[in-house]
Structure 1
């Protein structure tokens, strides 16, 4: 099959879904463009800062994309390209997009509060505490998985490492001139993008070669600093500029496919049990992860994005639209794994994992319309590492928020030292860093399970909120039921596998996550079965 048809048909389907289903969701939930958002009513200049839709889209998309929609579909290719494609399409439109949009909108209607605080408002304080523990443990896995992946990428493509360092400096300068000196966003964007690509050129000239463990240390120091500084200094400007990397990469990939039109070599379906021992149910739906649905997105939407939303109407393009664009990225990712031979795939994966497979594929595609293969591959590696870095510092900031919220006591004038943002960040970074010393292949399945189980809990939370608000919540019932069954099954299988291998840390993670999820799910289902107690939404 010609891979060009896969990307064209996918984009058309996602476009139709955005116009039809996305608009229907907005109508059902009562999105009101005239209502002031928390970014305006609670502006504090640190976390609550209004951002124009393109800037916020850049932050949100760069935060949710990470390496997940690339690593997941490529890892799931062991089942064949058809199951992966179907799950990306169905999951993105009816599962992931609904969760992302709903989480963002619900947070806006709860003063920009996190999913945990939404749970407290609709399910009680004890449920919020349990969810906070679950979410924080999941974020530790996010820190571990993405630190590992970025470090591997920097080792395999040193030019991307040096370009990334320069890019961080550029983002700080961009934020300073736009937010503190009032530089026009249009002119600043043009200059910023030009300098961004200059970073790539310089990075190729002066590759930064360091060992993986050194990079892990540098990355942990970086995410600590990035997660405690005001969002205008680094988070907003870097994520905004990151979005241009992604858009150029997506356009380059699609143009390359138009010129190249490679034939899919990967079998359409390899069987219900893969060669590595994974069963299609539940592992397909866990491993694809962010390419179809991701609980991490609900934390991003309700943790940072909602605090920067300028207008409620922006929630649809940022929340629902952002997820569908990520699905397009996932489709491209599966194509990069599907157009090459088994031997070539194994060679690239051994050299640098799924990110190397993806970078090589897009580099080849772009070479078909005149871009140097080496430059193209380095550019893609930089783009992916930039997304993963964004997920890292956003995930760490969210972990800090959740940790602080857990130990806050509104009845006391003096708070515990654990509510200090530096202490909360240090604990989150430290424990996540310890996990990062392992291999990404051992972390990814447990991360995927925790991430998708987090999505199921977010969906239950949103259903309870809409029910209490007297609104239609049926768009959440099938996704939350399916994701809960998938992830509980996956955690039980992973628990059994880790017991056999003696991996004590991952065994503890699996047990804690499983118990917390079951308690929260039972509580949510009980509330959904009760008569509605309408509250202001």
Structure 2
């Protein structure tokens, strides 16, 4: 099998799906481009700020496309390239795309509130509180993990540290120029992208060398600031500019593949049981962001929904953003599949999946005139930039969820934990930092299942809302049921495995997640079955 067929067929299939299935979803859900969005009705200059579609797509895509769609397919390739490829395509179109688009749109219709608030309105307050606790704890794991990942990257690739620091300063300059000085977006983008690549050049020439602990402290300080500052001055412009890195990386990889056209060396199918790991459910948990990810629903309903200029932009941001990420996942699969064998094992042992991806994309780029010694570091720089993006987005989302948990609409005066974003951010960053320093690895094995359980819960919330407003929700049912089966099965396997090793902390986490899912399923069943629908307005 030639890799050219894989990448070209995937791009064609995703393009057709966007035009057809994406348009059908818009019609079924009643997307109205003339209806005012929360970015306009609730504009506060901090979190609720309207953004043009290209800028918001850059922010959203940069936030969801961290290391997940790269690591997941490469790790899952142990089962063979065919099952991974099929799940990326089917999952992206009918599972992940639906969840991302639906979560974003549902949040728009709920004043930009999170999935937890949507659950409260459509299922009940208890469900919202349970979901908020689970989502916040999961985001703490994300903060802890990505602080470590970014710090390790900056230590091993100090060029990325310099470039990333300069990116932040460039973003502030870009945001001020576009939003406060009226510089046209097109002109600002041209200058910004040129300076972006100048930052990369500066990073390669002047690497910033610091210890890991120093970077952890600096990163925790950065994400605190990034979480409380207005989105227009840092979050929007930085993610928008960084998205060009990923676009350039994807374009370079695709063009390189068109010229290189390597044959697939990896086995098409390795078996249902590989090294004690069963394809079901591990394939669907491991690929994660490459097909569907609960973290995406938190991004869509946490930050992106507050910046949507028109409801019609939601299709591009939610559904389109997911399908582009699926293309990235296919490229990641090819970087593992075209070598296979001993070289794949060597690259994995000397740097993990990121090393496999960087080496593969760098090799492909040699066919379009970019030397490997330039293409490979550039790819690693792009990945580190997006890991940092996911980190500060996760922090802001955790702050939103923390504040929403303590919000009581029956009281005129809210708790300081709700009204003071600095305090709620400090608590989130402090606990996330503590996990980053001591023992976050102990609960990390549960993150894959927790992330996909978030996806199932997001689909559940979306289905309940659509049922309450009288819209078609049949496209939600099968993905929701399947993801619950996948995650609950994976949790049972993890619980049993950790009982055998006497790791009762992981056992407790697994049981809590399992019970949480069952409670929310029970509460939502009455809504979806029609016995307790609220007959709300869309």
TM-score norm. by structure 2 comes to 0.96
**1:377 aligned residue:** 376
CA distance in 2, matches of 1:501, 1:152: 29
- Any residues of structure 2 matched to 1:31-70 within 5 Å, and which? 31-70=31-70
**1:465 aligned residue:** 465
- 1:81 Cα deviation after fit: 1.0
Between stretches 413-422 and 385-394, larger displacement belongs to 413-422
CA distance in 2, matches of 1:75, 1:443: 19
Q: Is the 8 A contact 2:81 2:268 kept in 1?
A: yes
**1:293 aligned residue:** 292
- Any residues of structure 2 matched to 1:27-426 within 5 Å, and which? 27-275=27-275, 277-419=276-418, 420-426=420-426
Distance 1:191 1:301, change over 3 A: same
CA distance in 2, matches of 1:130, 1:256: 47
CA distance in 1, matches of 2:81, 2:153: 25
Distance 1:360 1:214, change over 3 A: farther
Aligned residue-pair number? 536
Instruction: State the SS of the aligned residue for 2:471.
Output: coil
CA distance in 2, matches of 1:440, 1:289: 20
| 2:432 is the counterpart of 1:429 | no
| 2:3 is the counterpart of 1:3 | yes
**1:523 aligned residue:** 523
| C-alpha RMSD of the superposition | 1.7
Q: Which whole-Å deviations, capped at 9, do the CAs of 1:168-203 have from their partners, x for residues lacking one? A: 111111111111222111111101000100111111
CA distance in 2, matches of 1:396, 1:516: 23
CA distance in 2, matches of 1:368, 1:437: 42
Instruction: State the SS of the aligned residue for 1:368.
Output: helix
CA distance in 2, matches of 1:439, 1:350: 23
CA distance in 2, matches of 1:496, 1:151: 33
Distance 1:361 1:178, change over 3 A: same
Between stretches 218-227 and 358-367, larger displacement belongs to 218-227
CA distance in 1, matches of 2:155, 2:360: 18
CA distance in 2, matches of 1:375, 1:225: 33
Between stretches 514-523 and 45-54, larger displacement belongs to 514-523
- 1:146 Cα deviation after fit: 2.4
- 1:437 Cα deviation after fit: 4.2
CA distance in 1, matches of 2:141, 2:164: 23
Q: Is the 8 A contact 1:287 1:448 kept in 2?
A: yes
CA distance in 1, matches of 2:511, 2:373: 45
CA distance in 2, matches of 1:101, 1:353: 32
Between stretches 471-480 and 209-218, larger displacement belongs to 209-218
Distance 1:219 1:498, change over 3 A: farther
- Any residues of structure 2 matched to 1:437-516 within 5 Å, and which? 437=437, 445-516=445-516
Q: Is the 8 A contact 1:89 1:327 kept in 2?
A: yes
Q: Is the 8 A contact 2:69 2:288 kept in 1?
A: yes
Q: Is the 8 A contact 1:68 1:289 kept in 2?
A: yes
CA distance in 1, matches of 2:340, 2:216: 32
Q: Is the 8 A contact 2:141 2:440 kept in 1?
A: no
Q: Which whole-Å deviations, capped at 9, do the CAs of 1:273-331 have from their partners, x for residues lacking one? A: 222x3211111100111100011111111111111000011010111000000000000
Q: Which whole-Å deviations, capped at 9, do the CAs of 1:453-490 have from their partners, x for residues lacking one? A: 01101111111111111111000000000000000111
CA distance in 2, matches of 1:401, 1:158: 32
Unaligned 5+ runs, structure 1: none
- 1:504 Cα deviation after fit: 4.8
CA distance in 2, matches of 1:335, 1:438: 36
Distance 1:67 1:4, change over 3 A: same
Instruction: State the SS of the aligned residue for 2:47.
Output: coil
Distance 1:299 1:449, change over 3 A: same
CA distance in 1, matches of 2:333, 2:110: 38
Instruction: State the SS of the aligned residue for 2:350.
Output: helix
CA distance in 2, matches of 1:237, 1:445: 34
CA distance in 1, matches of 2:216, 2:499: 27
Q: Is the 8 A contact 1:153 1:352 kept in 2?
A: no
CA distance in 2, matches of 1:536, 1:412: 25
- 1:364 Cα deviation after fit: 1.1
